[in-house]
Structure 1
Amino acid sequence: MKRSGDVSSAMASRLVPRVNSKPLEPPCKESHVVLLSPVGKIEISGCERGLHEIKLPKMSVLPAGRAESSGTCEVCEGAEEMPEPLEQCTAWLRAYFCEPATVGNLPVPAFHHPLLLQDSFTRQVLWTLLNDVKFGEAVSYKQLAHLAGHSRAARAVGSAMRVNPIPIIIPCHRVIRSSGDTGNYGAGQLLKEWLLSHEKLQKEKLAQ
């Protein structure tokens, strides 16, 4: 089992999204963008310092086309004045849905949500997920707890997934139950199943 010091050193050595957390920062000038995606409208908020939140639509029915890549992924609201983190976010999500092979070449936007600006178990788990669980992969809550250096904290990992403010980019949909069941998801089980199916299909295509 890794000691906490070893885990901290390992975490520090990885590439993680930029986080700006200077004290006494002025209030954010928040911008909002709506991205029309294959799974519906995705609401994105953020400022010049980073993303605040990604809100996913709750799906009541699966979209047409199974989990095929779709060319329909465009900003439909808020395109006039987008700070750099929102531009990077929309480009990243467009690639995720429409050109998955290019996702790895794009920068991950900076994050500027309070949960991701302070040292905590939740932040450590979310960054471990972002760094270690790649496109087309899945891990159990127990496995993610082990990766984060807290082998007995599977239940706490579930709590961390529920408060993830940047879904898809921080891929909490890739965390499933040990039984293989997909488990819960803030935007609904149907969307979680679609995202997992989308990634599996695209990974198989890339491997051909």
Structure 2
Amino acid sequence: MNSNEPAVEWSVVPSGIGPLLLAATGTGLVSVIFHAGPAVRERALGQLRTRLGAEPVEVPGSARLAGPIRQLAAYFAGGLREFTLELDWSLTSGFHREVLRELASGVPYGTVVGYGDLAARVGQPGAAQAVGAAMGSNPLPVVVPCHRVVESDGGLGGFGGGLETKRQLLALEGVLPQPLF
């Protein structure tokens, strides 16, 4: 990284589910934040500052964010089914990181997986609640598709972006019907 480049670059972009704050380091996309209005944005930037130990800088036309912006736009337009982005996993670790990596690589577009099933995939069959905690702390929602994790009885389960956002993402992927209005 050039010493003149900020360690963390960010931008707010429109999406089919409202404004998203995207942040990237020299390693890759590090954070996706839902509902990125002014209050959410300030809180998120403060958390990034604390957790990454660097001042996030808004960089219009950021080269680091060009790929994520392009791929998210294509996803919301219905033309992208698999993200191919460099990701910075530094905001998650241990079991949470293991679960999120399995989710990113093993639960394709248009499918869902149960919390317990995902726990079993990482060798912890009794850890459905811990999987729920990993989903709740996912720093890269949409790109790491925590919206695809549902309850074994068919319920939606929780979602950090709100259940309506989860419904919209699952409808976009054809898992749920599109709302009538």
- TM-score normalized with structure 1 length: 0.66
Q: Deviations over 1:74-130 (max 9, x none)?
A: xxxx5634143x222112211111143x444x5222215331xx4x11111000000
Alpha carbons 2:28, 2:85 under 8 Å: kept: no
1:51 correspondence with 2:16: no
Would you say how many aligned residue pairs link Structure 1 and Structure 2? 151
1:88 correspondence with 2:67: yes
Structure-2 separation of matches of 1:89 and 1:81: 12
Structure-2 separation of matches of 1:193 and 1:80: 31
Structure-2 separation of matches of 1:46 and 1:157: 25
Alpha carbons 2:27, 2:86 under 8 Å: kept: no
Alpha carbons 1:88, 1:109 under 8 Å: kept: no
Alpha carbons 2:112, 2:149 under 8 Å: kept: yes
1:198 pairs, out of 159, 163, 172, with 172
User: Paired residue for 1:205?
Assistant: none
User: Paired residue for 2:101?
Assistant: 127
Greater relative contact order: 1 or 2 (C-alpha under 8 angstroms, separation 6 or more)? 1
Structure-2 separation of matches of 1:163 and 1:185: 10
- TM-score normalized with structure 2 length: 0.76
Q: From the superposition, tell whether residues 87 and 112 of structure 1 become closer, same or farther in structure 2 (CA, over 3 Å).
A: farther
| RMSD value, Cα | 2.2
Structure-1 separation of matches of 2:10 and 2:126: 39
Structure-2 separation of matches of 1:128 and 1:140: 13
Structure-2 separation of matches of 1:159 and 1:165: 12
Alpha carbons 1:42, 1:55 under 8 Å: kept: yes
Structure-2 separation of matches of 1:170 and 1:45: 14
Structure-2 separation of matches of 1:42 and 1:33: 8
Structure 1 residues without counterparts, runs of 5 or longer: 1-26, 59-77, 203-208
Percentage identity across aligned positions? 30
1:80-159, aligned counterparts within 5 Å? 80-84=60-64, 86-100=65-79, 102-104=80-82, 107-115=84-92, 118=93, 120-159=94-133
